[in-house]
Amino acid sequence: MPPKLSTRGRIDPFIVMDVMREANALAASGEDIIHLEVGQPGTPAPVRVREAAISAVRDEQLGYTDSLGIPALRERIATHYDEMYGVSVAPERVVVTTGSSGGFLLAFLAAFDVDDRVALAAPGYPAYRNILSALGVAPVVVETRTEDRFQPTPRILAADAGELQGLIVASPSNPTGTMVGEKEMQALTSFAARHSIRFISDEIYHGITYSHDSVTALAFDEEAIVINSFSKYFSMTGWRLGWLVVPESMMRSVECLAQNLFISPPTLSQYAALAAFDSHHELRENVAKYARNRKILLSELPNVGFDRLAPADGAFYVYADVTQLTNDSADFCRRMLAEARVATTSGLDFDPYRGNGYVRFSFAGTEEHMRQAIDRLGAWRP
Whole-model pTM? 0.94
Query: Which positions ≥6 away from 213 have C-beta within 8 Å?
Result: none
Q: Is the pLDDT of residue 381 over 80?
A: no
Within the chain, all domains assigned CATH 3.40.640.10 are found at 7-45+280-379, 49-277
**What pLDDT sits at residue 164?**
97
pLDDT in tens, 319-364: 999 999 999 999 999 999 999 999 999 999 899 999 999 999 999 9
What's the CA gap between 200 and 223, in Å, rounded?
9
| Element holding 113 (H helix, E strand) | none
Q: Is the pLDDT of residue 31 over 90?
A: no
367 alpha carbon, distance to own chain's centre? 22
Instruction: List, as one string, the DSSP characters of 5-22.
Output: --GGG-S---HHHHHHHH
272, 52 Cβ separation under 8 angstroms: yes
Give 114's DSSP letter: T
pLDDT in tens, 293-311: 999 999 999 999 999 999 9
Return the CATH architecture of domain 49-277. 3-Layer(aba) Sandwich (3.40)
How high is the mean pLDDT of the chain? Answer: 95
**What pLDDT sits at residue 178?**
96
Specify the CATH number of the domain 7-45+280-379: 3.40.640.10
Q: How far is CA 155 from CA 16, 55, 158, 184, 215, in A?
A: 31, 52, 5, 12, 21
Give 336's DSSP letter: I
